[in-house]
A and B are shown apart, each in its own frame.
Chain A
């Protein structure tokens, strides 16, 4: 599988140069000048077609425009972060190409000037332009690939990918912005890397929750789990980013504090804006172990660990048997996504009540007493909490 990139809006932002050259061309040919918005709306269409639409001297205008354009200095117009995307693909051994509505010559000159290397560049010459699928198919033929992912920023790009029968990833920093309608929309270049990994099958999704996706990936050569809090399109962008960043930080902080308090959790390798990269724990979930036998010693261990968490006021928030993994004979706690810090006896009671319910659901309520034994041995205010558990279960919302 190869990855093909659109140029303008996706890989580079050259709109200022384009707008000014366009206007100069209109002026030179004695035509009325358009405003920025009007010109920007045309970016992505083949130039010649645009010029022929407004004047019979389309071919001359195109030549003039290209001259003006190539005489301009190209400042730093590569979209920040895109070079990371390319180097990621290079390191993963994935071949890349460009499919653009610019003429081949202009596109190649531009890329050479910017020092970007692609295995193949397909311009608008000689093919039916986007939104037809031809340019993409041509690039695939040149590179000898039978499947591809196209990365673009406009609805036209999405359409041409559809017409070529390839996967599409939209980017939200281009011309259509986040109004772009497509199945995969990357909000940042980091996000684009994640989406590319998914498309290319470079990482395996372990689980999709309401809030986050869990992937198996590698980090500096080690097997890891990436918990990525996904963008919610329904939320206002700023609010969405803030919530995801805040929760990611909180979760990592709780895991760190849990480790300090002596409770085994996966090691954290890295934290980015919306994901926590952590150690991959091999082993069996407590759920499966208890299905096989009533391991009382294990339940005491669990109780001891919860006692340690509660001693430092960490509320896990979702202590179920699926959220504990036994690795090398040691119980590890995972998924602190619903966790918080609180000294309230109420919250500690609810925390344990969740575990009691989980055990009850599989007919193992007797084991909860062993959990409490362990809990009492590591937490000196256990009695208060145990009393609370009884109260919590009496007033349960889900009457049965």
Chain B
């Protein structure tokens, strides 16, 4: 069985092709470049424009044609409305034209499923860190439940906003990581944990207020140290709460080596195992959508076209996990 997955929740259009053993036959992606951030409508236009060529490239790389594809999976949400719609439209068109079953996938769950499958972890607590999403998720009583999440902005968004304000181009996270390497002094920034949830807008404002008064390297260093520590702490609490000994790091910010180091140190101290997918499966990509769709489909899942409307606020815990 071959599944084609379409990812379009934010700045990246991804088209991936996987088989039932989760061999990634193609995983094409293209990110709209704009130095200031994501403009939803522009991003949606970009996705629509590059879609046909990217589909062709993906099929060529996989050595397949549409006839070989037995399932079309797409990101149904959560994400930016116009971007989601662009991907969903493409998915519906392909499904109807080629008479292939369609399945809508929750983007956050896809990050977890691709990690589980490719990294060999069985039942992890996932720290999912990206631009828009920041959640601690794990399987509990039939659902993927959110044990902690950001109460305001995503961690990636926090870093990107800071970078933009100080004149660095989007995406700012990697640039902040480079500056942070030169940091020597930890500056006081609000460390906000409320129960199992985190918040970053306070740290962002405080960091911006330090501009010009402290070394940029120290500000970047402090932002990473404080914000990431809060994330790792809530992840550890969730692990203790549900008594699990695997932690999976995923999302675009998982490419930051400091958060990887901190999460793996936490796991080591707890005697738990740490997993992180390879970079191309960590960021937003089509292969993870294809794989999750395929997994759901193999357990009887299917989305009719009339039920395929995109859901900007698609909650992780909104669906029964019938495939595990």
Residues of chain A touching chain B, judged by Cβ–Cβ distance below 8 Å, are 209-211, 232-236, 238-240, 243, 317, 338, 397-400
Stretch at the interface among B24-32, B236-244, B280-288: B236-244
Interchain CB contact under 8 A, B237 and A210: yes
Closest partner residue, chain A, to B268 (CB atom)? A233
Closest partner residue, chain A, to B261 (CB atom)? A234
Q: List the A side residues contacting B226 at CB < 8 Å.
A: 239
Instruction: State the main secondary structure of chain B at its contact with A.
Output: helix
Closest partner residue, chain B, to A209 (CB atom)? B240
Which of A209, A211, A234, A236 has most chain B Cβ within 10 Å? A234
Given known pairs A397-B146, A399-B317, the reply for A236 and B240 (CB within 8 Å) is no
Q: A209-B240, A232-B236 are in contact. List 16 more A-B contacts (CB 8 A).
A: A210-B236, A210-B241, A232-B229, A232-B232, A233-B265, A234-B261, A234-B263, A235-B233, A236-B225, A236-B229, A239-B186, A239-B226, A317-B195, A338-B195, A398-B317, A400-B141
Q: List the A side residues contacting B307 at CB < 8 Å.
A: none
Q: B145, B191, B195, B233: which contacts A398 (Cβ < 8 A)?
A: B145
Given known pairs A210-B237, A211-B237, the reply for A234 and B265 (CB within 8 Å) is yes
Q: B186, B195, B237: which contacts A238 (Cβ < 8 A)?
A: B186
Which B residues between 227 and 282 are near A, CB-CB below 8 angstroms?
229, 232-233, 236-237, 239-241, 261-263, 265-266, 268-269
Closest partner residue, chain A, to B146 (CB atom)? A397
Which of A211, A232, A238, A317 has most chain B Cβ within 10 Å? A232
Closest partner residue, chain B, to A317 (CB atom)? B195
Complex Cα distance A210/B141, Å? Answer: 22
Q: List the A side residues contacting B261 at CB < 8 Å.
A: 234
Task: Give me 24 A-to-B residue pairs in the complex whose CB atoms sit less than 8 angstroms apart, sorted by A's number.
Answer: A210-B236, A210-B237, A210-B239, A232-B229, A232-B232, A232-B233, A232-B266, A233-B266, A233-B268, A233-B269, A234-B261, A234-B262, A234-B269, A235-B262, A236-B229, A238-B186, A239-B191, A239-B226, A239-B229, A240-B229, A338-B195, A398-B145, A399-B318, A400-B141
Q: A236, A317, A398: which contacts B186 (Cβ < 8 A)?
A: A236
Residues of chain B touching chain A, judged by Cβ–Cβ distance below 8 Å, are 141, 145-146, 186, 191, 195, 225-226, 229, 232-233, 236-237, 239-241, 261-263, 265-266, 268-269, 317-318
Closest partner residue, chain A, to B142 (CB atom)? A400
Complex Cα distance A234/B226, Å? Answer: 11
Given known pairs A210-B236, A210-B237, the reply for A397 and B229 (CB within 8 Å) is no
Closest partner residue, chain B, to A230 (CB atom)? B269
Q: List the A side residues contacting B263 at CB < 8 Å.
A: 234
Going nearest first, the 6 A-B pairs with the smallest beta carbon separation are A210-B240, A234-B262, A234-B265, A236-B225, A210-B237, A235-B229
Given known pairs A211-B237, A239-B225, the reply for A234 and B266 (CB within 8 Å) is yes
Complex Cα distance A235/B236, Å? Answer: 12
Closest partner residue, chain B, to A243 (CB atom)? B191
Complex Cα distance A232/B231, Å? Answer: 13
Interchain CB contact under 8 A, A397 and B225: no
Interchain CB contact under 8 A, A234 and B317: no
Which of A236, A243, A317 has most chain B Cβ within 10 Å? A236
Complex Cα distance A211/B236, Å? Answer: 9
Complex Cα distance A399/B146, Å? Answer: 11
Complex Cα distance A397/B232, Å? Answer: 21
Distance from A11 Cβ to chain B, minimum over Cβ atoms (Å): 26
Complex Cα distance A175/B136, Å? Answer: 38
Complex Cα distance A238/B184, Å? Answer: 12
Distance from B228 Cβ to chain A, minimum over Cβ atoms (Å): 8
Q: List the A side residues contacting B146 at CB < 8 Å.
A: 397
Distance from B207 Cβ to chain A, minimum over Cβ atoms (Å): 15
Q: List the A side residues contacting B141 at CB < 8 Å.
A: 400
Q: List the B side residues contacting A209 at CB < 8 Å.
A: 240
Q: List the B side residues contacting A338 at CB < 8 Å.
A: 195
Complex Cα distance A317/B233, Å? Answer: 17
Complex Cα distance A281/B268, Å? Answer: 33
Interchain CB contact under 8 A, B317 and A397: yes
